[in-house]
Amino acid sequence: MKAIYLIFIFQLTSSILFAQTMVSGVVKDGKETIIGANVFLKDTYDGASTDIDGRFSFETTEQGTQVLSISYIGYELFELEIDLNQAQDALVIELKPEANELDAVVITAGAFEASDEKKAVVLNSIDIVTTAGATGDTYGALNTLPGTQKVGESGQLFVRGGAASETRTFIDGMLVHKPYNSTVPDLPARGRFSPFLFKGTMFSTGGYSAEYGQAMSSALILNTQDLPEEDMTSISLMSVGLGLARTKRWDKTSLSVSGGYTNLAPYTSLVKQNMDWIKPFQGADAQVIFRHKTSETGMFKFYTSGSSNWFAMNRLNDVDLKEMNRLDLNNNNLYVNTSFREILNDKWSLFTGLAFTYDKNSITEQFNLQSYERSGQAKITLSNQVNDHLKIKFGGEHFFSNWDEQFTDTNEEVFHTNITENLSSAFLESDIYLSNRLVARLGGRLEYSQVLRSWNVAPRTSLAYKTGAKSQISLAYGQFFQTPEGENFRYSTQFDFERADHFMANYQVMKDQRIFRVEAYQKNYKSLVRYQRNTPWIIENSGDGYARGLDVFFRDRKSLKKGDYWISYSYLDTERFYKDYPEASTPNFASKHNLSLVYKHWFHKASTSVGVTYAFSSPRPFHNPNESAFNTGRTKPFHDLSINASKLMNIKGNFTILHVSVTNVFGIENSFGNRYATTPDANGKYASQTIEPGAKRFFFVGLFVSIGEKFDKETAEKPD
Amino acid sequence: MKKSIVLIISILISTFTFAQSNKYIASMEKGIAKMEAAREFDKVQEATNIFERIMNAESEEWLPAYYTAYCKINLASLSMQKGEIDKLEAFINDAQAALDKALELAPEESELHAMQGFIYTSRIWSDPMTLGAKFSPMAHESFAKAIALNPQNPRAYHLRGQLIFYTPEFWGGGPANAKKDLNKADELFASFESASNIHPNWGNGSNKYHLSKIEPETEKGE
């Protein structure tokens, strides 16, 4: 009897337990079916994968209302309540593409980002050092991006019709007053900072955040490395000098000390130079970098560098370009940058910074020019993640600067200028995520200049909208103010900020290591300083101008195996009526067309990376005083093909790079217009001299050895 | 009568739980069989889906999450071969999320740390020159931990040997430098006995393949 009961109950339970319901349907994204999606009842084993037609079907013994989940890579998890007491055999499920971090909408108008940490970036730090033609200079590498104009005799960054002084460099949020080494007109400058210092670079060609002021055209935002991975000693032996660096890493702290010496004398004696050197460029520099992790999320950084460089050359004098005069330049520079950042809690994070610059420059020809600059900056910013949709950032900074210049002319007459400036500013900015696809940034900046006795209020706004999983459009508008260049202060302080208004529209697609972006912009200059040539002390803010153009960028790391290339093209139409211009005209630093083709190839067997860069810019105008009309001269079009190669080796367990580079391989005769005498000769003619590159080509050979903690399996095996 | 009801109920309950744990093992076995047979992307995806379903239903077992992570890395590798870098990143992120679940359940399990090393290794694939410097030391740290927790784990040696195998010689890698680890793995694989037929028991084939590649590669001087 008992046994019968048992069997009966068993059968009953099993029939209840194993009553099967069919679940089937199809999973799609628009017209496309999804293959391999995981369709299952939540918290059960029951489910199936979709087949090649996006179809699924499975049986389940579950009863009642259950949650059907569908997951697939790159799509949002889909959940649907279904009633299993009836057949569910015609489900049509539409999945939504997921907006993950990689594809999230970000503000991109104007900004080129290079980072080693984020994925969705245009360049990374290795790209900067391996770009042929850049000769390891950050500014040289950025010159292959759209929006820049090549100005070979300067070496500085000129962005979208802006003068070099309109591009400002920021390191860890702090303005760098002297980012380039010191030089004389027509001798190109290089950046003072090694590209290896930085883990991330944001190069903004306009429309940037309200956090950055005193830059009318462009902001180059560099972020230094955090703690280095391990102890390291590195030695650099180069055709132009040598360097030594030592890094020590403790648990939460690191200290790096480095020094270098540069001497171009051996090089200039081997390779024919266009310059008549007496003492070719020499320099000595030293850096100390200290980093300390103050907590899980806090980081304190201290960076200081000191450098001294000097050269002497024979140069035609400015007055009549007849006599060769000896010119001596001496520069001493000290830069200190300290910063501290910390995430205070889920909502608040804090940044504070202190920076200091001392620069002493001395140029002696028949005249003597001594200039000193001392400047300091203190900054604090706070950001608050109010909720998922709103982030607010605000802060304030104060700049102190003292500029002292003593000019002794050929008649021993002394002109002295001493200007002290205190500039205070505050900014507020909010990022508002209106949806997964739409973000708006609204902000503004307020500045007060003591020397100009003037205020400015600069609104900034940008908007980005995702048009697809990998594409987006961005718009930006902003006002950008800058104190006029120091030279104007020689005569007067009776003027005001200069101003540029930016309008830009950008479209970008980024998919699987290919990037395409195009950006159109209009920049309106207002209240530029203007004076008459014969009365430079009467300065007014009555100048104006415009720059408009189109920048195109395409990079492809996918199509060619082991190959990587990018193409940049910039179209620029600009005129300005400023300084001593008699009329509105295209300035000397602006060329209509600029093109860069950069190619890099990795040869696996030879462990060698080879790069080729071709650069072109169309003629630039210059003023020929022998012509009555203004700015009628035209430079030759500029062409350059540069190559480089880096071989990676392991010499006695030490990672070693052998780097060789040559600029202007084909020896194209480039020139950058003419230099004219300041006074006419007996016939009333102004003598002229062609401005040429320092040498036809630049050859560079360097051996960089890293004596690191050798790769050691035995130590790796020890438990920590 | 009371006794017999108790007896019936207890039999019922035990049959039910037995069926449940049987179902877990049966499903895992089905997933492992599918995984081992899978060669192309869609089949690996199907195996992954099985493990992912079990992982979602069984919040106390680390093995389903472990296999989910392993399968996702295989999917990442197959995406890489197709040049789909965006998918590669997404699969690695999924693999890490699954492994994090497993590590919460069994933080001292050697196999999980070996898998963590494998995930860090996979982070290098998309751009070895830039990412190698960061993720290679992290992978080595994980393999070292896996070995410290269980010196008899052949997969810890195998995966580390494989990382060294593909690390360029100028960074101290290459087939010749990988030999020691791969040989050690080979030795351990030979005597390895899996704790059950659903515990990790893979890698020997790949290890033998890499070992076989060492001699000719070194001779060619690559």
CA distance B99 to chain A (A): 17
Which regions of chain B does DSSP assign to beta strands (E)? none
CA distance A60 to A519: 55
B54 vs A45, A655, A656: nearest CB: A45
Q: Give chain B positions within 8 Å (CB) of A44.
A: 53, 57
CA distance A312 to A182: 13
The answer to whether A39 and A56 have CB atoms below 8 angstroms apart is yes
The answer to whether B178 and B168 have CB atoms below 8 angstroms apart is no
Whole-angstrom CA distances from A92 to A61, A67, A550, A556, B77 are 22, 15, 45, 38, 31
Bridge partners (DSSP) listed for residue A647: A608, A658
ipTM score of the complex? 0.85
User: Using the beta-carbon criterion (under 8 Å), do A648 and B170 form an inter-chain contact?
Assistant: yes
User: Using the beta-carbon criterion (under 8 Å), do B127 and A124 form an inter-chain contact?
Assistant: yes
The answer to whether A720 and A253 have CB atoms below 8 angstroms apart is no
User: Using the beta-carbon criterion (under 8 Å), do B46 and A36 form an inter-chain contact?
Assistant: yes
**Which one of B12, B48, B56, B96 would you mutate to disrupt binding with A, by most A Cβ within 10 Å of its Cβ?**
B56
User: Using the beta-carbon criterion (under 8 Å), do B90 and A656 form an inter-chain contact?
Assistant: no
Residue A557: per-residue pLDDT: 85
Does the B110-222 domain belong in CATH 3.30.450?
Answer: no
**Residue A7: other Cβ atoms inside 10 A:** 10
Would you call A366 exposed, middle or buried from its count of C-beta atoms within 10 A (0-12, 13-18, 19+)?
middle
Q: Would you call B141 an interface residue with chain A, using a CB distance cutoff of 8 Å?
A: yes
Residue B126: per-residue pLDDT: 85
Overall pTM surpassing 0.90 (yes/no): no
Those residues of chain A that have pLDDT short of 70 are: 1-18, 99-104, 114-123, 125, 708-720
The answer to whether A288 and A299 have CB atoms below 8 angstroms apart is no
User: Using the beta-carbon criterion (under 8 Å), do B169 and A650 form an inter-chain contact?
Assistant: yes
Task: Give the fold, CATH level 3, of B1-107.
Answer: 1.25.40
User: Using the beta-carbon criterion (under 8 Å), do A44 and B53 form an inter-chain contact?
Assistant: yes
A663-717 per-position pLDDT tens digit: 999 999 999 999 999 999 999 999 999 998 888 888 999 898 888 654 443 333 3
Q: Can you read off the two tokens belonging to residue A414? A: 């002394």
Residue B7: per-residue pLDDT: 65
CB pairs under 8 A between A and B: 122
- Tell me which DSSP letter residue A487 carries: G
User: Using the beta-carbon criterion (under 8 Å), do B57 and A43 form an inter-chain contact?
Assistant: yes
Blockwise average pLDDT, block size 10, chain B, 222 residues? 66 61 89 93 94 93 96 94 86 95 96 97 87 88 96 97 92 90 96 93 95 68 39
CA distance A52 to chain B (A): 9
Q: Give chain A positions within 8 Å (CB) of B147.
A: 717
User: Using the beta-carbon criterion (under 8 Å), do B172 and A650 form an inter-chain contact?
Assistant: yes
CA distance A581 to A445: 31
Q: Would you call B85 an interface residue with chain A, using a CB distance cutoff of 8 Å?
A: yes
User: Using the beta-carbon criterion (under 8 Å), do A116 and B83 form an inter-chain contact?
Assistant: no
The answer to whether A569 and A146 have CB atoms below 8 angstroms apart is yes
Q: Would you call A8 an interface residue with chain B, using a CB distance cutoff of 8 Å?
A: no
User: Using the beta-carbon criterion (under 8 Å), do B12 and A9 form an inter-chain contact?
Assistant: yes
List the single residue in B with minimal CA-CA distance to A13.
B12
User: Using the beta-carbon criterion (under 8 Å), do B171 and A512 form an inter-chain contact?
Assistant: no
CA distance A323 to A413: 22
Q: Give chain A positions within 8 Å (CB) of B23.
A: 45
User: Using the beta-carbon criterion (under 8 Å), do A558 and B143 form an inter-chain contact?
Assistant: no
Rg (CA), chain B: 20
Q: Would you call A35 an interface residue with chain B, using a CB distance cutoff of 8 Å?
A: yes
Instruction: Give residue A5's identity as a one-letter amino acid code.
Output: Y
B130 vs A126, A511, A650: nearest CB: A126
Q: Give chain A positions within 8 Å (CB) of B172.
A: 650, 653, 655, 710-711
Provide the chain B residues 46-75 that lie in CB contact (below 8 A) with chain A. 46, 48-49, 52-54, 56-57, 75
Termini Cα distance of chain A: 67
Residue A103: per-residue pLDDT: 61
**Which one of A55, A58, A73 would you mutate to disrupt binding with B, by most B Cβ within 10 Å of its Cβ?**
A73
Asked if the domains at B1-107 and B110-222 fall in one CATH topology, the answer is yes
CA distance B113 to B96: 12
Residue A187: per-residue pLDDT: 81
Q: Which sequence spans correspond to the domains of chain B?
A: 1-107, 110-222
Residue B1: per-residue pLDDT: 59
User: Using the beta-carbon criterion (under 8 Å), do A6 and B11 form an inter-chain contact?
Assistant: yes
- Tell me which DSSP letter residue A145 carries: S
| Nearest alpha carbon to residue A339 among A304, A364, A371, A315 | A304
CA distance A321 to A338: 46
**Angle CA(B192)–CA(B196)–CA(B201) in degrees, nearest 5?**
45
Chain position carrying tokens 């300041």: A678
Q: Would you call B26 an interface residue with chain A, using a CB distance cutoff of 8 Å?
A: no
CA distance A594 to chain B (A): 29
Residue B8: per-residue pLDDT: 65
Residue A57: per-residue pLDDT: 92
| Nearest alpha carbon to residue A327 among A271, A385, A284, A366 | A366
CA distance B195 to chain A (A): 23
Q: Can you read off the two tokens belonging to residue A635? A: 């430079």
Q: Can you read off the two tokens belonging to residue B29? A: 């076995």
- Tell me which DSSP letter residue B3 carries: H
List the single residue in A with minimal CA-CA distance to B131.
A116
List the single residue in A with minimal CA-CA distance to B21.
A45
Residue A712: per-residue pLDDT: 43
Q: Can you read off the two tokens belonging to residue A149? A: 């104009």
Domains of chain A and any CATH numbers: 2-94 (2.60.40.1120), 111-713 (2.40.170.20)
List the single residue in B with minimal CA-CA distance to A561.
B83
Q: Would you call B108 an interface residue with chain A, using a CB distance cutoff of 8 Å?
A: no
Q: Would you call B89 an interface residue with chain A, using a CB distance cutoff of 8 Å?
A: yes
A42 vs B45, B56, B127: nearest CB: B56
Provide the chain B residues 158-177 that lie in CB contact (below 8 A) with chain A. 168-173, 177
Residue A710: per-residue pLDDT: 47
User: What count of residues does chain A have?
Assistant: 720
Q: Would you call B84 an interface residue with chain A, using a CB distance cutoff of 8 Å?
A: yes
CA distance A446 to A395: 11
List the single residue in B with minimal CA-CA distance to A127.
B130
Q: To which H or E segment does residue B95 belong?
A: helix B85-105
| Nearest alpha carbon to residue A374 among A362, A358, A361, A360 | A358
Q: Give chain B positions within 8 Å (CB) of A650.
A: 169-172
